[in-house]
Structure 1
Amino acid sequence: MTTTIRLRGPADIITVLPYHLGYRPAESLVVVCLTRNRIGVVGRIDLPPPDVDPDLVAVELLPVVRRERPDAVVLVGFESTRGQAEPASMAMRDAIESAGIRVVERLVVRGGRWWSLDCDRDCCPAEGEPVQTDDEVPAVSDYIVRGRRPAESRADLAARLTHRPEPAQDRRCAAFVNDLATARRSRSALQRRRRRILQDWARILDLTPSGPDAVAAPPPRDDEAWAWAVVSLLDVAVRDLLIAWLCPGTLELDVFPASLRRLAESVLPSRPAGPARDTRTASVVEDGVDDTVDDRVDDRVEDGVEDGVEDGVDDTGEDRIEDGVEDTVGEALVDRLAMVCRAAPRELSPGPLTVLAHVVWWQGDGALARTALDRALAVDPDYRLAALLERMVDVAARPRATA
């Protein structure tokens, strides 16, 4: 279910952008694509240092914009010093317009104020307008009700997935690794173990509504279900089945052994509904960046995708903008998977991180997907499923297009 939220103009866009990206951007250029009066891709890239060609920003972002084929684009620069975002913003504007796409607004945010860079009317004060606080934008409360709270930075976003050592659970994980290895020696033993594993996953994924804005509580932190959830993802069939179950349309269930499929259907909770929108994800674009520049320009483009900006200026001159947010259940699912990631010792973390990355990519949260994949591949650069998803995110593949 998606709820439509009305935004009132550029000032509201600036305030809600962190809720799209999942964290509050700093020293960044954000590109908001508008298609048929709705937001498509919302991409972010670090501002390049002064001695780096700003056209590299366009090299990175323009392919994403072209693939999106929006009707119009809004550019928002977040800077710490005056003029810092202007070169990248201008380069991006020129590249987008050369591709025949209209840039309807260029904004810059600095020191708690914002300016319209191309406005030549008397309506824009030289000292800028104050950035609205979250409580001044009615739409923010709708995000918060549905569990959307942006991290203060990318580092804080990563902390959501960072292992929190608990000696008892870590010992359980080590013991369960041996238990699973033993079960694999017998088909019947493996089937029994898989049943136990999926029962524990069912407890973790139980999102039965317990109120208008709440779902059932997860198992306690010291429950061994968390350790089994972590270790279970060493079983590739279970891992891939969970991804297919949680991301309908990405992989058909009939590709799995009938015994495992029947087990999932009898044990796991109902599969989530697909995203109400045509999900568009463009989390990372790395093509076209010279290796000598990689250390100086963050060439990752992160995507927070929501449907819903209805952008059009009405007869009174007021921007009419509408935004849609996913319901509480989608957010709760991500929270549960993040808890599994935090329960995973470092050497076992690629599986949980990759499952979470698939789910949030399927939902349209490219920033968290990219964060999870970075962490998974830092532990195991050869983890093939993470590398495959990383490439799909790189080329802005859409989940339903890959089914």
Structure 2
Amino acid sequence: MSFPDSKLIVRSAADLVAAVPYLLGFRPGDGSIVVIASRDRRIVFAARTDLPAPGTPAGHLIDLAAHLVSVVRRQRPITDLMIIGYGTADHVNPALRAAGEAFTAGGMTVREVLRVTGTRVVDLTCHNPACCPPQGIPCDPTSSLVAVQATAAGLVALPDRAAVAARFAPVTGAARDGMRHATTRAATRLEAANTDGTDLDEAGAQAVRGVLRQPDRRLTDDEIAWLTLLLTRTPVRDLAVDLTPPHDRHVTLWTDVTRRADEPLVPAPATLLAVTAWRCGDGVLAAMAAERALQVDPAYRLADLLLQALHAGLPPSAFAHATAGARTKPATQ
């Protein structure tokens, strides 16, 4: 089985477990369940969610399984699935059984069901003790050949979700003070522009195009302050959504803008980071960036729609189509 970009080959259960952090972008912790969908032996989709607490009524597990089925159905055509649970048998096995039964009842082929406990992986679909002993087989994802190959291919697996959030955490100290002063200056500039009749949508279009032309250049505090104020205008933000290409360097660009933006101005760049990350295939970063936007402004509609689409397992193309009517047309084409 291969990764979507054919950089890695997965030949065993231990290989699959070692590959999961590179599919997700971080290492799942205990209490997680991961569903991996493949098409003709090629991995095309991976999703992770938290399991309910141990001892949760069976109905909650059934609801969780039904949600996973609905998400995976949207990835068709797929040929088979692998399900991996992380944690102790008492906590994980009931959820794995519920998920496996739900997928099978839905007409999908479940090829492997694995449980990872500590540094061992147990194959719950194989009952041959010669190859799959009940206590599992050793598995160290950090030192496996798959991990070495992934690192050589430039893939990254952060230690946990907190490490993903840290990528766009607000700057602090002198950097934060500098941005506050720059935002005050930008607000004065904006007020003057309003007074003299400047077309702010056009000014925003120029600012957006300027930063996108040189995504690797570090922006000054004044440039970020001016850009983030203009991005509060919906046509300017929508133009940035349309013009930002799905490249890692543009993920880096919007990450930097999100980190340095004055707190009330975070929703627009955080949403742009979310959209760009999603288009690049990083659903975890996309969801967490959208959550960051909603943390600052719970009513920020585009971030809310994007998060709903992510949770539903929709592809970026479907999200763009669904939100076309909810977004204003860009002021400058």
2:98 equivalent in structure 1:
91
Which structure shows the higher helix fraction?
A: 2
Identity %: 31
Give runs of aligned pairs for residues 110-125 of structure 1, distance below 5 A: 110-121=117-128, 122-125=130-133
Matched residue, 2:327 = none
Contact persistence 2:201–2:236 (CA under 8 A): no
TM-score (norm 1): 0.70
Alignment of 1:282-301 (within 5 A): none
TM-score by length of 2: 0.83
The one-letter code sitting in structure 1 at the alignment partner of 2:7 is: T
Q: Pick 1 or 2: higher relative contact order, CA cutoff 8 A, min separation 6.
A: 1
Specify the SS of the correspondent of 2:207.
Answer: helix
1:108 paired with 2:115, answer yes
Aligned match of 2:41: 37
Q: Name 2:86's counterpart in structure 1.
A: 78
Deviations 1:328-375 (A, max 9, x none): xx3332222211111122211111110011111222222111111111
Which residue, 371, 379, 390 being the options, matches 2:288?
Answer: 371
Change (3 A) 1:388 1:199: closer
Q: Tell me how far 1:88 sits from its aligned partner.
A: 0.3
Change (3 A) 1:203 1:390: same
After superposition, the C-alpha distances for 1:93-117 in whole angstroms (9 at most, x for unaligned) are 0000011111100111111111101
CA contact (8 A) 2:277 2:286 kept: yes
Q: Are 1:76 and 1:106, in contact at CA under 8 Å, matched by a contact in 2?
A: yes
C-alpha separation between the residues in 1 aligned to 2:295 and 2:198?
Answer: 36
**Cα distance change of structure 1 residues 105 and 230 upon mapping to structure 2, 3 Å threshold:** same
Shift of 1:229: 3.6
Shift of the 187–19 alpha-carbon distance from structure 1 to 2, 3 Å rule, reads farther
Shift in alpha-carbon separation, 1:142–1:194, aligned structure 2, 3 A: farther
Checking the alignment, whether the CA contact within 8 Å between 1:147 and 1:331 is kept in structure 2 is no
Partner of 1:172: 182
Counterpart mapping for 1:1-12 below 5 A: 2=5, 4-12=7-15
Q: Which runs of 5 or more residues in structure 2 are unaligned?
A: 322-333
Over aligned residues, Cα RMSD in angstroms? 2.5
Match among 5, 8, 17 for residue 14 of structure 1:
17
**CA distance in structure 2 between the partners assigned to 1:78 and 1:336 by the alignment:** 34
1:141-180 maps to which residues of 2 (within 5 A)? 141-145=148-152, 147-165=154-172, 166=175, 167-180=177-190
Q: Which amino acid aligns with 1:43?
A: A
Aligned ranges 1:376-395 → 2 under 5 Å:
376-395=293-312
Give the number of equivalent residue pairs: 308
8 Å Cα contact 2:85/2:115 also seen in 1: yes
Q: Give the AA of the match of 2:179.
A: Q
1:195-247 deviation digits (Å, cap 9, x = unpaired): 662365146514xxxxxxxxxxx327x5533333433322322211111012x
The answer as to whether partners of 1:12 and 1:132 remain within 8 angstroms in 2 is: no
**Residue aligning to 2:328:** none
Shift of 1:142: 5.0
Quote the offset at 1:170 in angstroms.
2.2
Contact 2:7/2:153 (8 A) holds in 1: no
Instruction: Trace 1:246-265 onto structure 2 (pairs within 5 A).
Output: 246=244
AA paired with 1:137?
A: L
Whole-Å Cα distance in 1 between the matches of residues 115 and 235 of structure 2?
Answer: 48
Q: Distance in 1 between matches of 2:64 and 2:240?
A: 37
CA distance in 1, matches of 2:236, 2:89: 52
Which segments of 5 or more consecutive residues in structure 1 lack a partner in the other structure? 207-217, 247-270, 273-329
Q: 2:289 and 2:196 mapped to 1: Cα distance? A: 34
Q: Deviations over 1:5-64 (max 9, x none)?
A: 322222121112111212111111111111233222211111111232221221221111
Letter in 2 for 1:371: M
Give SS of 2:83's match. Answer: strand
Residue type at the aligned position of 1:236: T
Work out which of the residue numbers 43, 50, 53 in structure 2 matches 1:46: 50
